Chains A and B, each alone.
Chain A
Amino acid sequence: MVNKFKRTKRRRVIPGFPLSLGITLAMVSMIVLIPMASIIICASDLSLYDFVKIVMAKDVRSGYMVSFSCALIAALINCIFGVILAWVFVRYEFPGKRILDGLIELPFALPTAVAGISLTALYSDQGWIGSIFAKFGIKIAYTKVGITIAMVFIGIPFVVRAIQPVLEKFDPQYEEAAAMLGANGRKTFIKVIFPEILPAMLTGFGLALARGIGEYGSVIFIAGNIPYKTQIAPLLIMSKLEQLKYTDATAIALVMLVVSFLILLLLNIIQVHATKRTT
C-alpha cells in the first residue's frame, strides 16, 4: 500500500500525507462543515425570490454597508499598526516590552460585552478620550468611527500574531546584506522584508476583516444602532431571531458568510502566489 502510494505520487517523499490530510478533513467536516450545512438547509426553505427580497431589503443593505465598510477600515488600520507592533516586538529591546507584548491578547480574553462597555465609556463625549475629541466637535461613540474603533480593538491580535512568528524566523542577515549593498532602511524594508511578511499580513488582514464583519457583542454598545445610520448587520440577524424568523436570519447570515468566505479565499490564493514568488 505504502509502496504503491510512493510510486504513483513520487514527489511526495515526506511521509504522513494520508494520515494528516485524513484527520484534517475528518475534523473539518465534523466541526465546521456539517454544522454549517444546517444553515444552508435552513435558508433553503426560502424561494429564491423571498431570499433576494430579504437580503436586499433596505435596512439589511444599509446594515451590510455599515458592517463591511467599518470592518474594512478597521482591518486596514490594524494592518498598519500590526506591522509596526510586530516589528517593534521582534526587533527592539526596551523596558516594558514584554508587558506591551502580552497586552495584545487581551481583546480576545475579555468578554466582548465588557470590551464594548469599556470602549464606550472611554469614547463617549463624557469619557476620558471622547471628551477631548468632543471639544473639537468630533463624536466617536455612537457613530461609525466608534464602530470602527471597536473593530480595531477586536482585530489587532490577529494581525500582530500572524506577522510576529514570520518576522521572528526572518534572518536579519538578509537585511544586513541589503544594507551592506547600500540599500537604505526604507528600501530594505520594501524590497527585502515586506515581501517576506506580506503573506502573513494578508492572513491577518483577512481574519481581522472577517471578524469585524461578524462582530456583535463589543460593537453593539458603541454603535448607537440607529436604523440606516449605525445599525450593523448582525443586529438585524438578532432582530429577525427575536421574531423567531430563523430562515430570514439565516438568509442574512448566509450572505455575510459567503462574502467573508470569498474574501478569505481570495486572500488565501494571493498568499500562495506571494509565497511562490519569494521562495
Chain B
Amino acid sequence: MRKGSKKVFTLSVVVLLTVGGLTGCKGNSSSSDDSIDITNVSYDPTREFYEAYNVEFAKYYKDKTGKKVTVTQSHGGSGKQARSVIEGNEADIVTLALAHDITSIEEAGLIEKGWLEEFDKNSSPYTSTIVFLVRKGNEKNIKDWSDLIKDGVNVITPNPKTSGGACWNFLSAWAYADYLYIGDETQIRNFVTKLYKNVSVLDSGARGATTTFVENGQGDVLIAWENEAYLTLEEHPDEYEIITPSISILAEPSVAIVDDVAKKRKTEEVAKEYLEYLYSDVGQRLAGENYYRPSNPEILKEFSDVFNLSINMVTIADFGGWDKAYEVYFQDGGVFDQIYTQ
C-alpha cells in the first residue's frame, strides 16, 4: 500500500508543481524590453470593441516606440470585475461600466484619488444611454416612460442590486418622473413603484434580461443599454425596434489606470498611452462602430444615422454623483428595497 500510494502521491505532487510553476512564471510577466504584457479588466459586452481596439493600439504603439504590446482581456459583470481587482486580480487598466465600481477600487487603495479627472470627459471615452427595446410593430404602442406604468404592460429589466448597469435603468425612470412631477418625491416614488410592479422577471444581469425578453418571449418591453439593444438588433434583424424615450440618462463607462499594479509592473506609461488612445479618432470610431456613443462630438456626428442625438439626457451629477445615488437608491434598505417592501 505504501509503495502504491507513494507513486500516486509523487505523481500528483509533480502534476501540481508543474502546473503551478508554469503559471506562476507567466503570472509575473517578466516582460523583456521590447515586449510588454498588460491586462485590461473590462465588463460585458465590450469584448469585440477591445478586441479590435487592441489590434489598432498594438500597431500604433509599435510604430511609436518599437515595442510590442500584448493585452490580456478579462470580461464579466462590471461589479464583479471591480471586486476581482480589489481581491487581487492584477489589472493594469480597468474599463468598467460605472464610475462607482472604479471608486470602490480606489477605496481599496489601488487607484489614486483624482482618477476621474485623469482623462478627458470624466475619464469616459465613450458613453451610452438607456433605451427601450420592443417587438416589431410595437403592439402596446410604447413611446415613453409613462407608457411603461400602464396596466397590462409587461416590463423586463435586470435587478439593480445585482447588476450595476441596471442602476441606470432605474435612475432614468426616476429622472423622467422627476421631470413629470416637478420633484414631488411621493409621486415620483409611486411612478417608479408602479413601473417595477409591471416587471415580471427581474434577472440578475443585463444579458439574462435580454435572453428573457428575446429568446423566451417574456414581456412587451426591455429596458436596456443602447449599445446592448443594438447588439440584439444585430443578432435578430427585423424582429425588434429601439424606442428612445424623451428623457434618459447619460451612462458613462469609466476607465482608469490601476496605479498600484501598474507601478509594481512598471507599465504606467503604456497603460496611460492605452487609455489616451481611446480618445483618438481611431479609438472613437471603433467605439461608434460598436454602438457606443463617441465622446468626441465631431465623431459622434458621423454616427448620427445610428444614434438619436436629440434625446434629453440627465447625468449622474443631477443625482448628486454616483456614491450618493448609490447610497440613496440601491443600498440595502434604500429606495429600491422600499419599493418591494411596501
Contact = CB atoms under 8 A, between A and B. Distances in A.
A72 interface: no
B204 A16 contact: no
Interface string A8-23: 0000000110010001
B253 interface: no
Contacts of A58: 341
B162 interface: yes
A127 B341 contact: no
Interface string B61-99: 000000000000000000110010010000000000000
Interface-central residue, B83, B162, B164, B216, by most chain A CB under 10 Å: B216
B218 A124 contact: yes
Contact of B202 (A57, A117, A125, A224): A224
Contacts of B5: 19, 23
Interface stretch (A41-49, A161-169, A238-246): A238-246
A244 B100 CA distance: 12
A132 B208 CA distance: 24
A243 B107 CA distance: 13
Interface in B141-175: 159, 161-162, 164
Contact of B216 (A121, A227, A239, A242): A121
B332 A243 contact: yes
Contact of B1 (A16, A227, A242): A16
Contact of A142 (B86, B201, B337): B201
Nearest to A142: B201
Contacts, number: 80
Contacts of B212: 120, 221
Contacts of A23: 5
B203 interface: yes
Given A224-B202, A225-B203, A228-B340, A244 B216 contact: no
Nearest to A228: B340
Contacts of A242: 79-80, 83, 161-162, 164
B219 to A, nearest CB: 10
Contact of B218 (A57, A142, A227, A248): A142
A23 B2 CA distance: 12
A220 B208 contact: yes
A221 B1 contact: no
A220 B216 CA distance: 14
A244 B104 contact: yes
B331 interface: yes
A239 B212 CA distance: 20
Nearest to A116: B208
Interface-central residue, B80, B201, B211, B215, by most chain A CB under 10 Å: B201
A124 B217 contact: yes
Interface-central residue, B80, B199, B200, B212, by most chain A CB under 10 Å: B212
